[in-house]
Amino acid sequence: MTVLVVGTGFTGCVIAERLASAGNLVIVIDKRDHIGGNAYDEYDAAGVLVHRYGPHIFHTNNQAVFDYLSRFTEWIPYQHRVLSQVDGRLFPFPINCDTLSQLYGLDLDESAAAAFIERVRVPCADVRNSEDSVLSSVGADLCEKFYRNYTRKQWGLDLSELSASVAGRIPVRGSHDDRYFTDLYQFMPKDGYTALLNQMLYHRNIELHLGVDYLHHPPEVRPLLTFYTGPLDGYFHNRLGALGYRSLRFEHLHFDTIDRFQPVGTINYPNDCAYTRVTEFKHLTGQQIAGTSIVREYPQAEGEPYYPIPTAVNGALAARYRALAAMQKNVVFAGRLGQYRYLNIDQAVAAALKAAAPFTGSLRRIHA
């Protein structure tokens, strides 16, 4: 069977590898001139391995996903830590026991921190949006200091306009644990994401074509099956209207004279600066090299779609597009853009394995 896969991010590469390994001829196309989608990494002019489209951190509790990806890469351990700049000082984020102690000049243990949070939070019986979620978790002062302005920059919307799921992804800890993630498996691919994904596509049954825009110049081949990972509304040429996406502008900088720019991988700037965060890549990759490279992220409305915007209006429109998608014969819509839902790397891989399984004879169940 000939299969067409549109897109070479994690979703597209996993599907292509699975279908090719099952004996199918798989044609893979991407409108960019490189593989990897937004997970693409490369060595900059100074020799530092950087993530061209912002930081991608692998973490998962899904052993099946970890075992699958381990076929294509060796790993280096990495536990991501984030600080947030508030009133000119840096605090652990997500909010934990030490955040509260440092911010308010207290000396809290875990039980005292839990009591503090319980005292300041604003109970909400009906959590309707991210504002309700944050206020019910940490109260008004912490909301204003860490969440509200960051959200406005990141999404171009107030907390009250976003689904509760947005803020719900960020935990609040009463412990001293300052890791951003607590998953069982926290690693980075030893040679980078591009190398990992290239190993997936290095298969005799895979034919790769870059610089091919499926929506404007569909390939001449007539596949029996297509997996589409581009924007859901774009596939239908915005027939029902445009879905909302948030884009980003990246400012990459290199410093020859210092080995470290900041104390942790990422620093958030919720209230200062036009950018939302700064990431220093040598923390993530463990690379030993003179000098260091960073990226600043500037959210914007126009440009390449990166994040589906989770509002009630977009959710309703996406549901209508999904109904159209379900009517398409021999086309499977997959990935963050194709399904119009937020996915971490491990979730994208799990969903891709699940999407490919009916066409590979695989009966192993992988949970997305």
Identify the CA nearest to 15 among candidates 250, 300, 348, 268: 348
Give the pLDDT of residue 1: 82
Q: For the chain, what is the radius of gyration of the CA atoms?
A: 21
Mean pLDDT, rounded, for 225-244: 97
Q: Summarize pLDDT for 118-175 with one digit per residue, the tens.
A: 999 999 888 999 999 999 999 999 999 999 999 999 999 999 999 998 888 888 998 9
Token pair recorded at residue 12: 């597209």
Angle between helix axes 193-201 and 10-21 (nearest 10 degrees) is 30
Residue 364 pLDDT > 60, yes or no?
Answer: no
Which helix (H) or strand (E) is 235 found in, with range?
Answer: helix 232-235
What DSSP line would sit under 286-302, residue for residue?
----SSEEEEEEEEESS
Residue 362 pLDDT > 80, yes or no?
Answer: no
Give the pLDDT of residue 360: 85
Residue 216 pLDDT > 70, yes or no?
Answer: yes
CA 40, CA 38: separation in Å to the nearest integer? 5
CA 219 → CA 14, 35, 46, 310, distances in Å? 21, 18, 38, 32
Q: Summarize pLDDT for 294-348 with one digit per residue, the tens.
A: 999 999 999 999 999 999 999 999 999 999 999 999 999 999 999 999 999 999 9
Residue 102 pLDDT > 50, yes or no?
Answer: yes
Sequence ranges of the domains in the chain: 2-77+186-242+308-359, 97-168
Work out the pLDDT band at 223, boundaries 50, 70, 90: confident
In degrees, rounded to 5, the angle at the alpha carbon of residue 107 between the alpha carbons of residues 104 and 108 is 95
Q: Summarize pLDDT for 273-300 with one digit per residue, the tens.
A: 999 999 999 999 999 999 999 999 999 9
Strand order in the sheet with 206-210: 206-210, 25-30, 2-6, 225-228, 331-333
The rounded percent of the chain whose pLDDT value lies above 90 is: 90
Q: Summarize pLDDT for 4-52 with one digit per residue, the tens.
A: 999 999 999 999 999 999 999 999 999 999 999 999 999 999 999 999 9
For 2-77+186-242+308-359, CATH gives 3.40.50.720
Give the pLDDT of residue 277: 98
